[in-house]
Structure 1
C-alpha cells in the first residue's frame, strides 16, 4: 500500500508540471514579433521563477528534499547563490541553497502551523563578492497532506415530537478539519451509521431530519444515533471520526384514556357526608400525565354520584348528597370516560374501554335524630309576656326503629323553655329588644334508645320592638347664651332620640314657663330655643335652664336643659363660659362630706383613748401626773439658766443614788420594767444614762424631753456639765472669740455672742 505522503507528493508533481507548462507559455509571451523590423529582438528574464512548492510532514529520514532550483542568466563558474528570509536564520535553517542554485528543505514542515514562507534569492561573484543581479523575492508554499481527521467539538442532544412529518429537522451536527479547507483534505462528508429507518442526515451540512412520520414515544422514547464525519470525500485514504447523537421523542396526546376493567363494586355507609370519596376508577393512558385528561359522565344517578379526576387523573367516585339506607340500599349505574384533544386516530384505537358498570351497596348505620329544619326562627314581641308559647321544634329518627325523642335546651342564657316530650317552646322571661335584639338557643333531641344518639338545631328568636322608651334630648352642647345676644336671638337647636327601633315623630313643649326663653317646635324632630329677655348680661341671668317635655306619640319625658352663659366674639364665637348654676348639693359631694366627718371622729376617739391610757400609767408611779409633768416635761431644751433649778427637782436624781425611790410605796415603777442594775453609787452620769435608756424603751410613758436631752459629763470632765442647772451670770464673762475661726457656718453663733462687733452687725 502506498504511503499517503508519497501519494500526495505524486499529486503535487502533477500540479508542478502544470505550473511548469504555464511558465513555458509565459516565457513564450516574452518574445516580441516585430514584422516591420528587419531583426527579431528577444528579451529574457534574468530570474526564471518565483514560486516553489514543499510538502509538509516529510519524514526526517527522507530529508533534505529538493524542492526547486534558482535560475539566472548571469550565473557562471564564479557565481554563488544565497537565500534569506523566513525559515533561514543561519542556525536551524529550514531551507538551504547550493552553488548550483538548488533549494532543499532541511526539516519537517507543518502547513497547519505555517502554510508559506517568504524568501529572497541573491546572486554574487565569488571573487569580487559583488552581486550580479538584483535580489528577487519568491515564495515557498507548503503543500497540504491529509494528516488531520475531522473533530466534533461537542456532544449533541435533540428532541422531536412523536408523529412528526417526514423531513422535519431535528438538529445539525458540525465537525471541523485542520487541513486545508480549499483542498479535498479539509472537505468533510457526514454519514448516519444507524437509525436510518427513522432518521436521515445531509452529507454536506450534517442536518438530521425525520425519515418518516412513524415516531412513537410509547414504543421508543429515545434514540442514540452514530454519526460519521470523513474527509477526502469520494477518494481513498480519507480520515474519519464518529459521535453519538441523543434524540428524545416528546409526547403528544395520541392515546385515548381507557378503563382497566369492565366492572367496579363499592360499599359506602349511609351517614357519609357529600363529597365523600366512595372509590377510585383507575384509568389507563399511555401518554404522559400532562396528556392524561379524562372526563367522566355518570349515567342514571348523576344526582347522587359524580366522578372527577384525582391527583393521578384517575376517576374519583364521590357522593353528591348523603345516602339513606332506608330509602335505597343499592345502586347500579354506568360511567363513561372521554378525552378531548387526542390525535386521530389514537394509537390504542383497537383496545379502548370507555364504559364500565358500577355497583354501590349502602351500609345501614344507626343515625342520630334529624330535625325538620337546620334552624328555626321565631318573632317575639318585647315587653310583658302575653302568650308564653311561641312555637315548637320537631325531630325524627331516620332509622327503621323510629325511636321517640326527648328534647332539651343547652345553655343558661336562653329565654326559652321546652317541653321534653313535644318540643313545644315557651318564654320563661320578659324580653327587651334594647338590651338584646336576637337570642340564639341550642336545642337537643335525644333518642330514647340504648344508643341515646343526639341531634342538634338552633332556635333563633328575633325580638320585635314596641314603643316603650322615653325620648331623650340631643344636641344640648350647642345651646349657649352670649352676653351680647339680643332679644329674639336663636341660641340653638335641640333634637331628640329614642332607643326604640321605629319611634314616632317627636314633639317639643316647655314643661315650665320661662321668662327668659321660648321654645319653637320645628315639626321635623327638632326645636329652636329663642332668647326673650330684653336686658341681658352675664350677671342678670340667674336661672339658665329649661325643662322641656318631649313626646313621641306614646311616651313622654321631661328633660332638664342647662344653658351656659358665655362671653362671645362676633358670629357668636365663644371666648369664656360660666359654669352651670348649682341649686343643690350632689350625692357624690354629700358622700365625700360624710366620709370626712367619720374620719375626723375616728381620729378624735383614738386620741382620747391614748390619753386615758397614758394617764393610768402615770398614776401607777405614786405621784400625781401633773406633779411629774411639772418637774420633768417643762424643761427647756435650750437651757433657762438658774430657772432650771426651779423647774427640775434634782433631788429625784440624787435620791436614786442613795437607794431611795420615786414613791413611798413598794409598788414597781414604770422605769423598773427595763430591769437594769441600780443606778450609780455617787456617779450621776451613770444614773442619767440608766434613766435615759428606760425612757427610750418605755412606749407608754410621757416623753421626758429633759432626760433625753440632758447631758452630764461628770465631775471629772474638763468640759463640765452641759446642763444649765449650775449656770450663772458668770458664764457671760467667757471669751467666745474662737467662734470666728470656725468658718461661715458658725457666723450666726459668733454674732449672737458679740464676736466681731456689736449686735448691730447681726443680720437678725
Structure 2
C-alpha cells in the first residue's frame, strides 16, 4: 500500500515537471489571467519573459540511494550551445538543493521531513557564460514538500481524570479528549482522525468525531462501583486500514449523590448509667450507617417518644456521625430505674430528586433502653437554702430553727448535723447533731449584724464520706432597744437683741432601730424653762424658739437646753440630748458678729484681761533683769588691751601650700594674755562659720592715722564684696566682751569715739526700752568721768 502511494506521488511530480517546461517565445499569453487596471484607468503592463515555471513538489522521507530529482529550469534564451548558465540561490541551496548550471536540473541531496519544514523558497537566474550578462532576471519560486502519512495521532495527556455524578442519565457528557496529527491536514486523509473506545464499555461511549466521552448505562451507582478506567483510541486515515493510531487512558470517578438512606445495623440499643450522672453528661452512643460520603452522609438524630424527650437529649457527633445521648434531668434510681424511647435518624441534606418519592428512604429508627444503676448518694436537705428569722433580744440557748436531711438511698441511713465553724467564727449558734435544731449561744444584736450566714453539714453515720452542705441565712429581727438622739451636733446661738418667739434652731433625730412602719419621734423640753420653748413639726423635726428677748453676754453667755426625744415603737425608748445655746452679738438683721465675752472699756476690765496684762508685764521685767545681769558680767572681764602700743597687724599670705588661716593660731597674742577668753571665743578656721559675716570689733586706737586708714580701706573692700573670703586679716588684741548681738555697750568704744554710743537698737523696742537705753547711757558717761 505504501509503495503504491509513493508511485502515485512520483507520477504527480512528473506531471508538474512537464508543466514547468519552457514554452515558445511566441507564446505571449498571460498565464495568470487578465491584468488589472490602476485607479487612473491605465492598464498595467506585464513584461514578457522567455521561460515559464510552476511550483515544484517533492516527496518527504525519500528512501532512494540517488539524489531525488526535483525539477528542471529552462530558458528560451538557451540555444543549446552551452553559453547559458543557470544560477540557483535561496533556502538550502548548496546543502539540500543542487542545480546543474548547464541543464538547469534541480536535485535534493537529503531526505526531507515535511513536519520540520513544508516549503522552501528559491531564486533562479540565467546569465551568459561569456559576458556574464543576465539573460533572465532573478525570479522566486517554491519547492513544497509533499506529505506522506508518517505521524501517528497523539493525545495531550497520557492520563485524563474526570468525574460524573452517579445515577446520571444515559448520554451525560463526562469529558472530551482530543488528539493531534502532525501530518498535513489539507492533503489526503493522513491527519483525519477517528476516535473509538477500546476499554470501558458498556458503561461509557465516545463520539468518533470530537472525542467526547458520555455515559452509556443508566443508574450507575457509586456505592456499587466508584472508579472506571476508559481507554480511548485516535486513528488517522479516517480510520481505514493502514492508518496510524494513538491511545490515552481516562480515569472516571462517579461522584456521590445522596441516594443512600441512613440505616441502623441494630434496631435495639441497651445502655446503662449511674443515677449520679450529671445533667449534660454523655451516657451512651448509637450509630447509623450511610453508604454516601461527605455531606450526603451527615445525619441527624432525634428522640421521638415523650418520655425520652423529658429526661434525655441526643446530638450528632460531627466527626463520627454518632448519636450522643445526654442526661437532661437528674436521674433517681429510687424513683425510676428504666427508660425506653425511640430514636429516629435522617439525612441532614436531602436530595430534591427523592424528597417527594412515595416512600422516602432517608430515615430509619431504633429503640433505646436505658437502665439506671443505684449509687450511694449523700444526704439531701428538705430545703436549699434555709432562711430563718430571730429577734435580737432572744436569750442565749433559744431556738432559732430546724434543718432536716435524709439519705435518698433505699437503705435510708441515719445522718448527723454539724455547723461549719469557718462560717460561724464568733460561735453564735449551735445545732443538735441528731434532730438538726439550731439554737443561740450568745445574745444577738441587730445593730451589730443584721444577717448571719452559716453552713450546716449533714453526714451519713455509716459512711462519713457522704456529706452535704446547705446554707442557712439567719435574719436578726429588730427590737426597739435603742433611744433616738440628735442627728448631728448643733452649733446654736441666740442674738442679744432677739425678740420673743423667734426661731433659733431646727433639730432632727436618728434611731439605730428599724421599726416596721418607720420612725416617729416626739420632742419636748421642761415647761418651766423661761428662756426657750420647742415646737414639734410632726415630721421628725422640731423648732427651738425664744420665750423672751434681751439676752446679754455679760449676764450669761451660754445656755444649756435639755431636749427629750422619744420614739413610738414598743417598748417606747427616750433619751435626753443637751443643746448648747451661745449668746452672740448680732446686727440689726440678726446676722451673728461675735460670740466672745470680751469686756467693754466703759465697764472696766474683766478677770481674763487682767491676767493677760499681768503676764505681759512679768515677761518684760524678766527680760530687763536678764539684760542687766548680762551687762554686769561683761564689765567684770579683764580687758586684753593694756597699752595702745600692743596693737599689731598680722598680714597672712595664702600663696603657699600650708594650712591657710589655721597657721595664724600661732601668732594670736591674745591667747597668751587670757587663755580663758581664748577658749571661749576662738573660732575654728577649718570649717565654715555659721554666720557669713562675723561681727567686727572697732579698734580702740585713735591717734595712729595709718592704721585707721588701713582698717577703713579693708572695711570698704569687704563691704563692697561681701562674698569674698578674708585674704587679709587685722587682729586687734582688745577685749570687747563675749560677742553680744547688739555689739559692745562698754565704755571702750565710747572712749575711742568723739560722739555718744548708739543705743537705738533698744529704742526700737518701744518707749519703755528707750527709757532703759537712756539710763544706761547716763551710767556709762558717769563711769568714764
- Report the 3-state secondary structure (helix = DSSP H, G, I; strand = E; otherwise coil) of the residue aligned with 2:660: helix
The CA distance in 1 between the partners of 2:477 and 2:415, in whole Å, is: 31
| Residue pairs, 1:625-640, within 5 angstroms | none
In 2 relative to 1, CA 751–436 (structure 1 residues): closer, same or farther, beyond 3 Å? closer
The CA distance in 2 between the partners of 1:11 and 1:750, in whole Å, is: 145
Shift of 1:438: 5.1
| Residue pairs, 1:672-751, within 5 angstroms | 742-743=656-657, 745-746=659-660, 749=663
| Residue pairs, 1:552-701, within 5 angstroms | none
Please say if 1:196 is aligned against 2:201: yes
Tell me if structure 1 keeps the 8 A contact 2:59–2:148: yes
Partner of 2:149: 146
Partner of 1:282: 287
Partner of 1:217: 222
- Report the 3-state secondary structure (helix = DSSP H, G, I; strand = E; otherwise coil) of the residue aligned with 2:307: coil
Deviations 1:8-63 (A, max 9, x none): 56257548758978999999875999xxxxxxxxx98633224111223323x444
Tell me if structure 2 keeps the 8 A contact 1:472–1:557: no
Tell me if structure 2 keeps the 8 A contact 1:69–1:103: yes
Shift of 1:404: 2.6
Partner of 1:417: 430
Please say if 1:446 is aligned against 2:449: no
Please say if 1:52 is aligned against 2:59: no
Which of 371, 375, 380 aligns to 1:365? It is 375
Tell me if structure 1 keeps the 8 A contact 2:345–2:364: yes
The CA distance in 1 between the partners of 2:508 and 2:202, in whole Å, is: 99
Partner of 2:273: 268
TM-score, structure 1 length as denominator? Answer: 0.58
Deviations 1:355-382 (A, max 9, x none): 4344443333332222223323345566
Partner of 1:328: 336
| Residue pairs, 1:509-588, within 5 angstroms | none
Partner of 2:8: 10
- Report the 3-state secondary structure (helix = DSSP H, G, I; strand = E; otherwise coil) of the residue aligned with 1:120: strand
In 2 relative to 1, CA 15–122 (structure 1 residues): closer, same or farther, beyond 3 Å? closer
Partner of 1:299: 305
- Report the 3-state secondary structure (helix = DSSP H, G, I; strand = E; otherwise coil) of the residue aligned with 1:325: coil
In 2 relative to 1, CA 425–384 (structure 1 residues): closer, same or farther, beyond 3 Å? closer
Deviations 1:54-85 (A, max 9, x none): 223323x4441112222333222132222111
- Report the 3-state secondary structure (helix = DSSP H, G, I; strand = E; otherwise coil) of the residue aligned with 1:282: strand
Please say if 1:337 is aligned against 2:345: yes
Tell me if structure 2 keeps the 8 A contact 1:96–1:106: no
Shift of 1:139: 1.0
Which of 67, 71, 76 aligns to 2:79? It is 76
Partner of 2:166: 162
Partner of 1:713: none
Which of 220, 232, 236 aligns to 1:231? It is 236
Deviations 1:403-452 (A, max 9, x none): 33322222333354323222233444566677666544322222333666
Please say if 1:120 is aligned against 2:109: no
In 2 relative to 1, CA 438–110 (structure 1 residues): closer, same or farther, beyond 3 Å? farther
Shift of 1:293: 0.7
Deviations 1:713-762 (A, max 9, x none): xxxxxxxxxxxxxxxxxxx9xxx99987734743563697499x999684
In 2 relative to 1, CA 130–198 (structure 1 residues): closer, same or farther, beyond 3 Å? same
Shift of 1:102: 1.9
The CA distance in 1 between the partners of 2:566 and 2:250, in whole Å, is: 100
The CA distance in 2 between the partners of 1:215 and 1:81, in whole Å, is: 74
TM-score, structure 2 length as denominator? Answer: 0.56
The CA distance in 2 between the partners of 1:740 and 1:387, in whole Å, is: 97
Partner of 1:459: 472
- Report the 3-state secondary structure (helix = DSSP H, G, I; strand = E; otherwise coil) of the residue aligned with 1:323: coil
Tell me if structure 1 keeps the 8 A contact 2:261–2:363: no
The CA distance in 1 between the partners of 2:7 and 2:391, in whole Å, is: 125
The CA distance in 2 between the partners of 1:141 and 1:559, in whole Å, is: 140
Partner of 1:86: 91
Deviations 1:540-595 (A, max 9, x none): xx99xxx999999999998999xxxxxxxxxxxxxxxxxxx9xxxxxxxxxxxxxx
Please say if 1:395 is aligned against 2:405: yes
Partner of 2:584: none
Partner of 1:245: 250
Partner of 1:408: 418
In 2 relative to 1, CA 447–173 (structure 1 residues): closer, same or farther, beyond 3 Å? same
Please say if 1:134 is aligned against 2:132: no
After alignment, is 355-364 or 403-412 more displaced? Answer: 355-364
In 2 relative to 1, CA 743–452 (structure 1 residues): closer, same or farther, beyond 3 Å? closer
In 2 relative to 1, CA 750–323 (structure 1 residues): closer, same or farther, beyond 3 Å? closer
The CA distance in 2 between the partners of 1:469 and 1:160, in whole Å, is: 97
Deviations 1:270-312 (A, max 9, x none): 3333334333323222122532314233436312344433342
- Report the 3-state secondary structure (helix = DSSP H, G, I; strand = E; otherwise coil) of the residue aligned with 1:444: strand
Tell me if structure 1 keeps the 8 A contact 2:446–2:478: yes
In 2 relative to 1, CA 75–367 (structure 1 residues): closer, same or farther, beyond 3 Å? same
Cα RMSD of the aligned pairs, angstroms, is: 5.6
- Report the 3-state secondary structure (helix = DSSP H, G, I; strand = E; otherwise coil) of the residue aligned with 1:354: strand
In 2 relative to 1, CA 281–508 (structure 1 residues): closer, same or farther, beyond 3 Å? same
The CA distance in 2 between the partners of 1:471 and 1:201, in whole Å, is: 111
The CA distance in 2 between the partners of 1:17 and 1:525, in whole Å, is: 143
Tell me if structure 2 keeps the 8 A contact 1:298–1:305: no
The CA distance in 1 between the partners of 2:511 and 2:119, in whole Å, is: 116
Shift of 1:260: 1.1
Tell me if structure 1 keeps the 8 A contact 2:16–2:57: no
Partner of 1:635: none
The CA distance in 1 between the partners of 2:509 and 2:6, in whole Å, is: 122
Which of 172, 176, 179 aligns to 2:176? It is 172
The CA distance in 1 between the partners of 2:164 and 2:461, in whole Å, is: 73
Structure 2: gaps of 5 or more residues: 35-46, 491-505, 526-535, 543-556, 581-595, 597-645, 670-705, 715-727, 731-785
The CA distance in 1 between the partners of 2:483 and 2:117, in whole Å, is: 116
Deviations 1:160-219 (A, max 9, x none): 322233333333333344333444444444333222333333334333333344232212
Partner of 2:211: 206
Tell me if structure 1 keeps the 8 A contact 2:119–2:142: yes
Tell me if structure 2 keeps the 8 A contact 1:172–1:208: yes
Structure 1: gaps of 5 or more residues: 34-42, 477-492, 512-520, 528-541, 562-580, 582-731
Tell me if structure 2 keeps the 8 A contact 1:433–1:465: yes
